[in-house]
Amino acid sequence: MGPVAYADLADRLRRQSFQGPRDLIGLAPDAISRSLGIDLEAARTIQGRLERVGRIGFEFDRLRSIGVWFLTVADEAYPDDLRQRLGASAPPVLFGAGDASLLRVGGIAIVGSRDADDEATAFTERLATAAAVGSTPVVSGGARGIDVSAMRAAFAAGGTVLGVVPEGIERRLREGSTRSAVAEGRAVLVSPYHPAAAFSAGAAMGRNKLIYGFSDVAVVVSSAEGSGGTWTGAIEALKGGWVPVVVRSGPGVPPGNVALVARGARALTEGAIPNALTSRDLLDMTVPTKVAESEPGYGQQRLFDGSMERPRER
């Protein structure tokens, strides 16, 4: 089932106090239809999918044996912030490895170009180090360039990382350094894709919204203007009002950085980064940008009051 269809099913299950789709196993189509308030044909489709549960169960047992867990949007453990921010586009299933409780902690997302220059890399390392010293998780996409620089700097400073990867978790766990970080509790990996799925550009674009959805605030280090995954993800976050977006500013930054500030992102210079940093610190040291009325789809003023008042699980 796609995200929208599964989100509707999950909502119907919750309204009827079902724990999840497993509670429908063994019910006839007419019983499913009455319980969920759907037509008989849709109920037959659901029953047909539930009949595959045995084969799927064997696959889930195999994944558990190698340390891969999974959550569906109907599960209570599914991150509330992700579900609320993305709505019907929240992924129906999350596959992961590591401490799943980190999915509900938040943190600072650090995103940017795969081909970053030395200045962007230095900024990234300082920012990730400050977050780690401030006991704030770094949320990363796990890609070459800014993502990997942020993860390595956070690890080096004793911090934790939430990696939202654009391929299957099972593939990433074959990397020795990644497997060690997960086993030691320094990282949690999560993906909306099948654990054996290969990398693709489309998957990388599709997972960008999760990076924002898992964080409290996102920092764009380096972005092209008008194209690319970093630009597209930041624009979606600004339009959707998912989380505040902060952009590296100052002499020599790429045109995309300047354009994002013009569309409502906050500006941050390297000199403003303290030795220790929390998400709240980052918001307090940056100022919301006023956006021209001709661009009503942008701007995040509504996020800045109370967006981080809800207590986090630690």
| Domains of the chain and any CATH numbers | 1-51 (no CATH), 101-303 (3.40.50.450)
User: What confidence tier does 302 reach under pLDDT thresholds 50, 70, 90?
Assistant: very low
What pLDDT score does 304 carry? 35
User: What confidence tier does 200 reach under pLDDT thresholds 50, 70, 90?
Assistant: confident
Asked if residue 36 has pLDDT above 90, the reply is: yes
User: What confidence tier does 98 reach under pLDDT thresholds 50, 70, 90?
Assistant: very high
Burial-class residue 64 by CB neighbours within 10 Å (0-12, 13-18, 19+): exposed
49 phi, psi to nearest 5 deg:
-70, -40
pTM, two decimals, is 0.80
C-alpha closest to that of 286 among 309, 261, 263, 306: 261
What pLDDT score does 291 carry? 61
pLDDT in tens, 206-256: 889 999 999 999 999 999 999 888 999 999 999 999 999 999 999 999 999
What pLDDT score does 179 carry? 86
DSSP labels, 144-179: TTHHHHHHHHHHHTT--EEEE-SS-HHHHTTSHHHH
DSSP labels, 32-94: HHHHHT--HHHHHHHHHHHTTHHHHHHHHHHHHHTT-EEEETTSTTS-HHHHHHHGGGS-SEE
User: What confidence tier does 204 reach under pLDDT thresholds 50, 70, 90?
Assistant: confident
User: How many other C-beta atoms are found inside a 10 Å radius of the C-beta of residue 278?
Assistant: 19
